[in-house]
Amino acid sequence: MRALHPSACARVAPAPRWALRRSRAPPPPPRAAPGPPPPSQDDEEAALLLADLERYGGAAPRGGPDTPTPTPTRDPRFPPPKPQPPSSAAQDALDKLLIADFFFVLAALAWLVAGVGAQAAGAGSGVADAWFLLWPGVFQPAIGLLMAGALASGGMGWWRGRSEGGE
């Protein structure tokens, strides 16, 4: 066997004496005297909150789950909501129709893109041909309805805002 050079061996230094001494644990805290515990900050805050509730007229519920809670009263600073005029119901129906028509037009556009992509790839499928057959009778009226409905909805909103501002 070949002997190792002394500098090649790692020499472990002995631990200093102060590190070998056992650390002493801190003494246990003194026991509290018997009786009620001193009031904590949370108890003081809770008492202050209850005093504030009673001072402002809203008594805190003190009963169990069977105690009825008081019904909240409406804040007099805010006016009651106004009933919607009948034209609002018509505008809501028009908006729902426009949303459905918008998604129909988007589906038609996706169909067109798929058909053009298939023709560009050289697959002679009838996807684009079927779309072109439906273009004049289905898709053009759907786009026209979308444009006319957007103009009508904007006009109804403008008219309602003008009539509310004049009151």
Residue at 66 is within a domain: no
Residue 38, in any domain of the structure: no
Q: What angle do CA 9, 12, 13 make, to 5 degrees?
A: 135
> Domain for residue 129, yes or no?
yes
Q: Please enumerate in sequence order all residues whose Cβ is within 8 A of that of 127, keeping only pairs 6 or more positions apart, or say none.
A: 111, 114, 115, 118
Q: Are 116 and 147 in contact (CB under 8 A)?
A: no
73 in any annotated domain: no
| Model confidence pLDDT, tens digit, residues 68-110 | 666 666 667 777 777 666 667 777 888 899 999 999 999 999 9
Question: Does 20 fall in a domain?
Answer: no
- One-letter amino acid for residue 119 of the chain: Q
Instruction: State both tokens at 21.
Output: 């001494």
- In-domain check, residue 132: yes
Confidence of residue 127 (pLDDT cuts 50, 70, 90): confident
Tally of domains within the chain: 1
Range of the domain at 100: 86-165
Does 13 fall in a domain?
no
Residue at 154 is within a domain: yes
Contact present, 146 and 101 (Cβ < 8 Å): yes
Kindly report, residue by residue over 131-151, the tens digit of the pLDDT. Answer: 999 999 999 999 999 999 889
